[in-house]
């Protein structure tokens, strides 16, 4: 579908263990959940790697890059995302960098993931976030991306409680100023 619509990259993620049934509870635990009993992170990474490797021939055939997002589960950290990307070592698997999904050491993690980024989701939280909000310095994010000569899209992902009619224009202004 991405190929048919001319979309150069699609987001994929590692999934979760599924041991935390409520997303509200998962967010209260900062995206950390217990492993399935009897399994290790190594097992989980092997499943993710195997699954993504099965997707790569179609991605290559269609010319669509898979962007592995830092999105909870085993991809909750830059280290986890990079572990998968390095294990597969394909130009058809890169990273989708979501600025709102690193809840610890966010700028250090942006720096780690930026060289592999093929797409950036820039979150804003005007009015406060639903589960949390982050004060993201987009001038600093822009500088990190400039250091690696990032040339992909920057997509606004608004997650605040303020009315979208006022928050989205403010968010776009903020991002345009930082990434101009």
C-alpha to C-alpha distance for 39 and 24, rounded to whole angstroms? 24
- At 170 the pLDDT is 97
Percentage of residues in the chain with pLDDT exceeding 70? 100
- The DSSP result for 17-57, as a single string, is ------HHHHHHTTT--PPPTT--HHHHHHHHHHHHHHHHH
Distances (CA, A) of 138 to 15, 28, 77, 159, 173: 27, 25, 19, 16, 11
Domain range for 13 is: 2-179
- At 10 the pLDDT is 97
Mean pLDDT, residues 19-44 taken together: 94
Count of domains observed in the chain: 1
What DSSP element (H or E) covers 117?
A: strand 117-124
CATH number at 85 reads 3.20.20.150
- At 109 the pLDDT is 98
Yes or no: say if 126 and 162 are a contact pair by the CB < 8 Å rule. yes
38-76: pLDDT as tens digits = 999 999 999 999 999 999 999 999 999 999 999 999 999
84-118: pLDDT as tens digits = 999 999 999 999 999 999 999 999 999 999 999 99
Residue 27: which pLDDT band, with cuts at 50, 70 and 90? very high
């Amino acid at each position: 579908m991405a190929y048919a619509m001319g979309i150069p990259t699609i987001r994929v993620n590692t999934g979760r263990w599924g041991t935390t049934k409520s997303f509200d509870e998962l967010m209260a635990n900062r995206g950390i959940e217990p492993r399935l009993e009897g399994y290790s992170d190594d097992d989980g990474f092997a499943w993710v790697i195997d699954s993504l490797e099965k997707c790569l021939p179609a991605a290559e055939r269609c010319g669509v890059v898979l962007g592995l997002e830092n999105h909870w589960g085993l991809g909750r950290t830059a280290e986890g995302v990079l572990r998968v990307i390095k294990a597969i070592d394909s130009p058809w698997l890169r990273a989708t960098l979501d600025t709102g999904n690193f809840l610890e050491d966010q700028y250090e993690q942006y720096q780690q993931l930026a060289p592999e980024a093929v797409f950036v989701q820039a979150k804003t939280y005007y009015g406060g976030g639903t589960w949390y909000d982050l004060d993201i310095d987009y001038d600093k994010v822009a500088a990190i991306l400039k250091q690696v000569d990032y040339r992909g899209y920057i997509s606004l992902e608004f997650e605040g409680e303020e009315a979208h009619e006022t928050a989205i224009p403010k968010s776009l202004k903020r991002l345009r100023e930082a990434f101009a």
